Amino acid sequence: MKICIRSFLILIIVVSLSGCWDQWELNEISIISGIAIDQGDNGDYVLNMQVINPSELAITEEAAGLSPVAIYEVSGTTIHEAAREILKEAPRRAYFSHMASLIISEEIAEEGLEDVMDFFYRDHEVRSDYMILIAKDGSAHDILEMVPRLEGVGSINILHSIEHGEQSTALIDGVRMGELLQKTLSAGVEPSLLGVSAVGDMEKAQTTQNVESTKPKGHRVLDSTAIFRNNQLVGWLDESQSKAFQYADGAVQDSAESVPCPDVGTMAIESLQTEPEIVVSMDNGPQISRGQHPGNFFWLVWTCRSGNECL
């Protein structure tokens, strides 16, 4: 009897101390930093995955001067199927835990975000702190494939632009996967996502020519907001509308605006710690009128100027 008990305990210990039985070594995985999702001609999902080349990012003598990233284009009926197709081209298994940006095309967004959110939120390796953007007036892969000037990896360049922009302008308010899911599941709340556009010569912007001169051949612009209803893209807000929306939503940390002076000239105002107060009331059945109160604002006002003279 004692032998049986001891054998059983040993078996339990061996099973519980099995270690990292499903581990993957660094030289066995492809670290995905960003993904662009477009719609194929046959309705399939087309994924462009940006894979980091660690040896080229490290400042060592081993760097060979190659591109710090590689782009793999795969497709499939579902996103899960397409993600596995990378093994046909890449020699390593895709690893999503270090994703920085996810860019979705307008066509996919107009059909709905359910399938996209389902895969990326359910996958146990994908974290929920990466930025989600909608590509406006162009394909998502054009945005991802551009060679950035100040960052070696395009998806990380987008992430840093949003993080710094949130602290400096009312136009930019990044949304992460966790926030998107929370808004989607909340009753009476519809999500909005930051829009990104490509400007310039895309063929040259996706090569090293984009960083060989003082002025880039092409660049990304964060200048709009995508509006959703029932998880489907229904329209866009331009730059001024996006700023007004962020003020009303209480998402502005710090921003500078220009307003006309009482007599002549223009005055610059830096707004800090904005906390709008919105009151909703219903009149005559389904009609809803909304009044906005100033809330709490802290303003730094710069002197009105006309030309080079203070007024």
pLDDT tens-digit profile of 134-183?
999 889 999 999 888 777 788 899 999 999 888 888 888 889 998 898 88
Residue 172 near residue 166, CB atoms below 8 Å: yes
- pLDDT value of position 141: 92
Choosing from 248, 269, 294, the residue where a domain stops is: 248
- pLDDT value of position 263: 77
Choosing from 223, 248, 273, the residue where a domain stops is: 248
- pLDDT value of position 58: 61
Tokens 């399939």, located at residue: 44
* Ranges of the chain with pLDDT below 70: 1, 8, 13-24, 55-65, 278-311
Q: Domain containing 305: what range?
A: 253-311
- pLDDT value of position 310: 40
| Number of domain units in the chain | 2
Is residue 121 one of the residues assigned to a domain?
yes
Is residue 11 one of the residues assigned to a domain?
no
- pLDDT value of position 170: 85
Residue 113 near residue 160, CB atoms below 8 Å: no
Same-domain status, 67 and 161? yes
Separation of alpha carbons 213 and 211, rounded Å? 6
Choosing from 211, 230, 248, the residue where a domain stops is: 248
Is residue 207 one of the residues assigned to a domain?
yes
Same-domain status, 281 and 142? no
Same-domain status, 234 and 185? yes
CA dihedral 160, 31, 44, 228 (to 10 degrees): -30
- pLDDT value of position 225: 93
Same-domain status, 221 and 301? no
Question: Tokens representing 298?
Answer: 């802290």
Indicate yes or no: pTM above 0.95: no
